[in-house]
Structure 1
Amino acid sequence: MAMLAVCGDEVAVSVGCMLIAVSLQGSNRRPFLYDCSTVERKPLDYKREDEVYEVQGSDRILSAAFSASGNYFALTDDNKRLILFCTKPSWKCLSIRTVVRRCSSLTITHSEDRILVADKSGDVYSFSMVELHKKGELELGHLSMLLDVAVSPDDKYIITSDRDEKIRVSLLRAPYNIISFCLGHREFVSRILVLPTAGNVLLSSSGDSTLRLWKYEEGREMQCYDLTSCSPSTGESLEKKIAVSRIISCCPGNFVAVLCDSIPIVYMFRFDVVSEQLIHIQTISLEHRGWDIAFDTSLGLWVLQEDKDKIIILYRFVEGHWQSICEDEGLKKISTIFQEHLTPLQEHLSGESFYNDLYKSTYDNMATYLSKKKERQEQLKQRKRKHLGVDEQSKILRTERSSSCL
């Protein structure tokens, strides 16, 4: 699993258990390296002294995010640890706490007072950023696996999406108070994003190959865009279902980028504030599978991809199109550092999709039923013939033959 995050001048990449943060500004500033496999196995707040802490995870990083200001960065790993960093004036680990179950997504409130962690059992826990060693508090729960969590720009609402097609909108200060449900997807809801310049508009993606816009306070659907409507080159419909692994937005220009899971495609949209609709403007075909994407403050689209020679690439909006940029000082600096530290770790990454196991399974057992029914009828006939005389068996065979001829 590999992830990319950009905030201000900081670029953070995680591959496996390794985190690398690089500043785009200041050539003298050394990159920050953090290896989760070397972290203390038993955090101070885990259990009582007489209880045994058993390590079962692989130390790989599962989820990570910057705070809105970029002053903080948080991650969770496969050993159920939540690690908080400050990034200014330099990167420093502030706390290591444990989560109850493995995390599927996390986010930091805009007021930067809490970290919200969604886990695979369907619960959301909040961790204080003021009391750095305080244990997490249960905020809300779903009946199925949570896949993403987000907060509104004013920190009024917490929005969660799960495997059972639901998007739930609750009050952040009182999560038991459910404001609305956004219902309409036909498969798991993989990603949700509150558009920062669009008021109370939410963008969601699903394993049903659609993007949907919502007025999330009302639970009302505004638009449904089918990603299988055309392929980037031929314009023909795509037969394979598309799951979206990342949705990001950029305030300048109201651009929205959508990365597809296991398909080397990035869909570029522009959100029209007047019509409140997504407008497809370009489809970027990648040479390799994309792991993650992120926007920077200068309208640059960074793509982390599965390529040993070119692990990260940069696109910019030039003359009305998103174009690949090669001659960029920041890109050269980051590429050199990432090639040195991350390329050896790519061998440990799995190429399998996480979302394949989330699709609903459908079974057509009618053919099996008819086959077993015919087999039972034949067995019943054979048992009857054993108890009949020779003349009666001959009579039954002649009847069956005559009926088959008809």
Structure 2
Amino acid sequence: MEDNHMEESEQKLETEVAPALIAVHPSQISVSVSVGSELRVFSLQDGSRVKLIDETGGHKDSIRAIRYSRSGQFFVSGGDDKLVKVWDTKSWRCIYSVVSEKRVTSLAISGDGMFVCFADKFGVVYVVDIGDHNYENPAPVNKKAVPILSHYCSIITRLEYSPDGKYIITADRDFKIRVTVFPKEPLNGAHEIQSFCLGHTEFVSCLAFISCQDYAQGLLVSGSGDSTVRLWDYASGCLLDTCDVGAEAGVLHSIQRQEEVLPAITDLCATADGSLVAVAVQSLPGIMLLRCSFSARTLSVVKVVSVKGETFIPTSIGAAPSSPLLWMVMGASSLQSNDSALLARVRAVSGFTTNTSESTEPEVSVLEDTEIPGGEPLLQALQGKLSIGEEAFSTAAEAVKTAMRNLLIKKQYSAERREFRKRGRNDKKNQTPAQS
């Protein structure tokens, strides 16, 4: 009975708490936030909340991934309801709906906007062709996904296309980053592995590419549950540099005294020229800025940008290449107010732009609510309400941290415990005894 209760508690932690996410249109025309099953979009052009059109009723469970296409024409969302939805960003109508066999953990859109890839909790990556849509059809078209590659029984935590579109990069719970050649005919599968980027000692939580005019292929940065950000030559799989962000942020030792765990990196975002990388770290009320040197191929800490006056620990960050603003959100799917509205907190940092001088500190600062583009209407639309209690977000930060570790840290069991779990597996229970 105790073991059954333990299993139920583990599943509840893994499935019920999902972090709030933020995504920014590449031209900063709109900003999107997901929290729980709600998808909220604010148009900075019109100065109002966008009404989403979906005849199937939208998402029914927590959204785990959101993404704009490079051109800004499409927006994609996916999550625990085993659905991937593709939205046209002009009409904000759902044009495609894709059913996944398992819960969706991550997704990406090819640079040409022709394909959407998404990954599930079992470690399989699927591809969907979205380049043939009939915009005169008002109802979303049901698309069938095709599996193209997999990580054996490991949750895939992040998907990214390389800047030149030649590769698709997949990161997982088992510390691996795999670089796969993205084929000309992806519906036939992606079978050629270019490299593996190996070095992290805990789950890989996030990826970002940095590139410049002199280095179009770019480099890869990755964040992990081991509290480090690492720099890679992803084509060869060579580790170039490691930055111990947890220790540099000053949160490592305080966390260890209390819980004996490392603060995980939750998200990464780079400037258009790749000179600066913003890092969101569990238990850090703000962000850390790293400088990337392409010539020396190194990462170094530039500055910790703190949010004053409230407990704001970002669960997701994002920026548009055309804007010097970095957008941040904090929230969780389990965080609810008395009126049952899912809440999120949105902040923005100014000065997140090209930083050519390595000897000067970038001039960045956290904007007040009145200074954020869109002002109160944007905050009302994306947050759920303007005023949010301090205690609620302290609870949210702890809930997201606990859920992330329960989902992604590989659990160690005794031999007796492993045997019990095998006996309790659903596939074993559902097997029909062989007839003699």
TM-score higher than 0.5: yes
Give the CA deviation at 1:225.
0.8
| Alignment match of 2:163 (pick from 153, 171, 180) | 153
Q: Are residue 291 (structure 1) and residue 315 (structure 2) matched?
A: yes
Unaligned runs of 5+ in 2: 1-17, 134-141, 184-188, 338-342, 353-360, 416-436
Q: 1:210 & 1:288 partners in 2: Cα distance?
A: 21
1:355 paired residue number: 404
Contact 1:156/1:172 (CA < 8 Å) preserved in 2? yes
Contact 1:15/1:342 (CA < 8 Å) preserved in 2? no
Would the alpha carbon gap of residues 149 and 266 (structure 1) be closer, same or farther in structure 2, given more than 3 Å must change? same
Figure out how many residues of one structure are paired with residues of the other and give that number.
344
Describe how 1:185-224 pairs up with structure 2 within 5 A.
185-197=200-212, 198=215, 199-224=217-242
Contact 1:315/1:324 (CA < 8 Å) preserved in 2? yes
Q: Which amino acid aligns with 2:303?
A: Q
Q: Which amino acid aligns with 2:56?
A: V
Q: Are residue 313 (structure 1) and residue 347 (structure 2) matched?
A: yes
Give the CA deviation at 1:68.
0.5
Q: Deviations over 1:100-149 (max 9, x none)?
A: 21111101000100001011101100011124543111110111111111
Q: 1:40 & 1:310 partners in 2: Cα distance?
A: 22
Describe how 1:138-287 pairs up with structure 2 within 5 A.
138-143=147-152, 144-173=154-183, 175-197=190-212, 198=215, 199-232=217-250, 239=256, 240-252=261-273, 254-286=275-307, 287=311
Would the alpha carbon gap of residues 178 and 262 (structure 1) be closer, same or farther in structure 2, given more than 3 Å must change? same
Q: 2:157 & 2:299 partners in 1: Cα distance?
A: 23
1:330 paired residue number: 373
Identity %: 29
2:81 paired residue number: 79
1:24 paired residue number: 44
SS at match of 2:101: coil
| Alignment match of 1:304 (pick from 329, 332, 357) | 329
Q: 2:284 & 2:372 partners in 1: Cα distance?
A: 29
Would the alpha carbon gap of residues 212 and 59 (structure 1) be closer, same or farther in structure 2, given more than 3 Å must change? same
The TM-score, its normalising length taken from structure 1, stands at 0.76
Contact 1:114/1:129 (CA < 8 Å) preserved in 2? yes
Q: 1:341 & 1:313 partners in 2: Cα distance?
A: 14
Contact 1:160/1:167 (CA < 8 Å) preserved in 2? yes
Q: Which amino acid aligns with 1:289?
A: I
Bigger relative contact order (CA 8 A; separation at least 6): 2
Q: 2:49 & 2:43 partners in 1: Cα distance?
A: 7
1:12 paired residue number: 32
Q: Are residue 39 (structure 1) and residue 56 (structure 2) matched?
A: yes
Give the CA deviation at 1:351.
2.2
Q: 1:364 & 1:80 partners in 2: Cα distance?
A: 32
Q: 2:85 & 2:413 partners in 1: Cα distance?
A: 43
Would the alpha carbon gap of residues 337 and 145 (structure 1) be closer, same or farther in structure 2, given more than 3 Å must change? closer
Would the alpha carbon gap of residues 58 and 343 (structure 1) be closer, same or farther in structure 2, given more than 3 Å must change? farther
SS at match of 1:175: coil
Unaligned runs of 5+ in 1: 42-56, 366-406
Q: Which amino acid aligns with 2:244?
A: D
Contact 1:161/1:167 (CA < 8 Å) preserved in 2? yes
Q: 1:78 & 1:242 partners in 2: Cα distance?
A: 25
Q: 2:110 & 2:274 partners in 1: Cα distance?
A: 24
Q: Deviations over 1:58-89 (max 9, x none)?
A: 5221211000011100001321111110112x
Q: 1:340 & 1:251 partners in 2: Cα distance?
A: 30
Give the CA deviation at 1:237.
7.6
Contact 1:267/1:282 (CA < 8 Å) preserved in 2? yes
Q: Which amino acid aligns with 1:264?
A: P
Q: Which amino acid aligns with 2:195?
A: S
Q: Deviations over 1:200-240 (max 9, x none)?
A: 4111111111111111111100001111323449x978634
SS at match of 1:321: coil
SS at match of 1:196: strand
Give the CA deviation at 1:303.
1.4
| Bigger mean CA offset, 17-26 vs 311-320 | 311-320
SS at match of 2:373: helix
The TM-score, its normalising length taken from structure 2, stands at 0.71
Contact 1:157/1:172 (CA < 8 Å) preserved in 2? yes
